[in-house]
Amino acid sequence: MEFLKRTWAEINLDALKHNIEAIRSAVPPQTGIIAVVKADAYGHGDGYIAGELEQLGIHFFAVSNLEEALSLRRKGVKGDILILGPTPYRRAADLAGYGITQTVYSSQYAGDLSRAAVAAGVKVHCHIKLDTGMGRIGFVVREDQDPAEEIKQVTSLPGLQFDGIFSHFSSADDITPEGEAYTMLQQQRFDRTVAALEAAGIHFTCRHLQNSAGIENERSCQYDYVRAGIILYGMPVDTKKGCALDLQPLLSIRSVVTMVKTLHAGNAVSYGRHYTTDKDRIIATVPIGYADGYLRCMSGKASVLIRGKRARVIGNVCMDQIMVDVTDIPGVSEEDIVTIVGTDGDDCITFDELAGYADTISYELFCLIGKRVPRVYYREGKEVGAVNYLIDEPLTNLPE
């Protein structure tokens, strides 16, 4: 297909199924999975990933905001959707009309949302968010701060139906004694508040605390749901001994060689002339750049794979192209496949490797994959669909 002549992302749906099975093996049979598909399913394509997850028996999704939730509805997702962040309270009718659950994180917001819901003649489904130590949004729970009475008043507001309560581990991937102690403290704060509300007759059918790292490291937690984020997509987190799940990465990024040239000694390459050839060098140009999410700070550090061999990026990464040294790789020619992330032969480049060059985390690199990078989906080694964000329609029809 024509898009294969530039840069594209390959997404392995078999790996998604494998990861769901691994997550299910780590939680009690009665515990449900909330699939976190915010940020376009971490760059993997929200509609396609959520649709595939529904086929795998996942019917609860979490997103960041109303626009992401509406994106799923427009793409045919039928399951429950929880918005983890704020939604303008004036959109109460949209929340109710599209069957979207809203996080409530303060008395002020609850009151505003209640009034908007009553004015619109609707009832908005809600989850209470507790801040047990993240310091972000939520009713603050600390040893000297007990929000139970405040939450009791909130749950009596008209126009709102409270189905769930949750919090978020800040450091479940910190497996030091200090990190583990803090995670335990967060769990204790959560349990204490839920118990106080239950004792007051306020019951929730959807309690959830574990994020990806919590699923792997905090196996003693037993709530109604877990929230699977980065591990859905096969990326590892730091785990205690014996807790790591067998995960498979979904996403690879490929490109092609567009030009091969020989530059003699003393020739500068790319903007700023930060690289100059020390001898005759064979240089290949590859059409990927920082507009595609390949960060400029990886200049001179990262490598790509061509014909199963590593070729180092030389000179500064451009907006649309990079140059790599293929002097030691015989026979490189135009339209050779270039692996930016993924496996070629016996070698593999991971998002974690690239994140190390950029002094960041793999999550950020996922979210930075540009809209002009088509997502191509594979099952059992065969292409089953693709999405191109730069045209109005999918390149191929999505499965029913």
Alpha-carbon distance of 82 to 69, in angstroms, equals 8
Torsion of CA 289, 291, 293, 294, to 10 degrees: 20
Nearest to 166 by CA among 210, 134, 194, 129: 129
Alpha-carbon distance of 158 to 143, in angstroms, equals 30
Q: Is 135 exposed, middle or buried (0-12, 13-18, 19+ CB in 10 A)?
A: exposed
Residue 341: how many other CB atoms lie within 10 Å: 25
| Residues facing 28 on adjacent strands | none
Domains of the chain (ranges plus CATH)?
13-232 (3.20.20.10), 251-369 (2.40.37.10)
Locate all alpha helices (DSSP H) within the chain, ordered by sequence.
13-26, 38-42, 46-55, 66-74, 92-97, 107-120, 148-154, 177-199, 212-217, 351-358, 362-367
Q: Phi first, then psi: give them for residue 273, nearest 5 degrees.
A: 55, 45
Alpha-carbon distance of 299 to 291, in angstroms, equals 14
Instruction: Supply 341's token pair.
Output: 């992330």
Instruction: Supply 125's token pair.
Output: 């489904």
Sign of CA dihedral 346, 347, 350, 356: positive
Alpha-carbon distance of 95 to 91, in angstroms, equals 6
Q: What is the pLDDT of residues 308-353, one digit of tens each?
A: 999 999 999 999 999 999 999 999 999 999 999 999 999 999 999 9
Evaluate whether 358 touches 295 at the Cβ level (below 8 Å).
Answer: yes
pLDDT at position 239, please? 84
Low-confidence ranges of the chain (pLDDT < 70): 1-4, 392-400
Please tell me which residue in 38, 42, 48, 275 is annotated as part of the active site. Answer: 38
Cα angle for residues 307, 308, 314 (degrees, 5° grid):
80
Instruction: Supply 253's token pair.
Output: 């990024």
pLDDT at position 391, please? 81
Instruction: Supply 41's token pair.
Output: 């399913």
DSSP codes, 204-241: -SEEE---HHHHHH-TT---SEEEE-GGGGT------T
**Catalytic annotation present for 271:** yes
Q: Phi first, then psi: give them for residue 310, nearest 5 degrees.
A: -85, 135
Q: What is the pLDDT of residues 167-225, one digit of tens each?
A: 999 999 999 999 999 999 999 999 999 999 999 999 999 999 999 999 999 888 899 99
pLDDT at position 220, please? 86
- Rg for the chain (alpha carbons), in Å? 24
DSSP codes, 47-71: HHHHHHHHHTT--EEEESSHHHHHH
Angle between helices 46-55 and 13-26 (to 10 degrees): 60
The SS3 of residue 178 is: helix
Please tell me which residue in 261, 271, 371, 389 is annotated as part of the active site. Answer: 271
| Residues facing 8 on adjacent strands | 254
Whole-model pTM over 0.75: yes
Residue 270: how many other CB atoms lie within 10 Å: 18
Evaluate whether 186 touches 141 at the Cβ level (below 8 Å).
Answer: no
pLDDT at position 392, please? 54
Evaluate whether 253 touches 9 at the Cβ level (below 8 Å).
Answer: yes
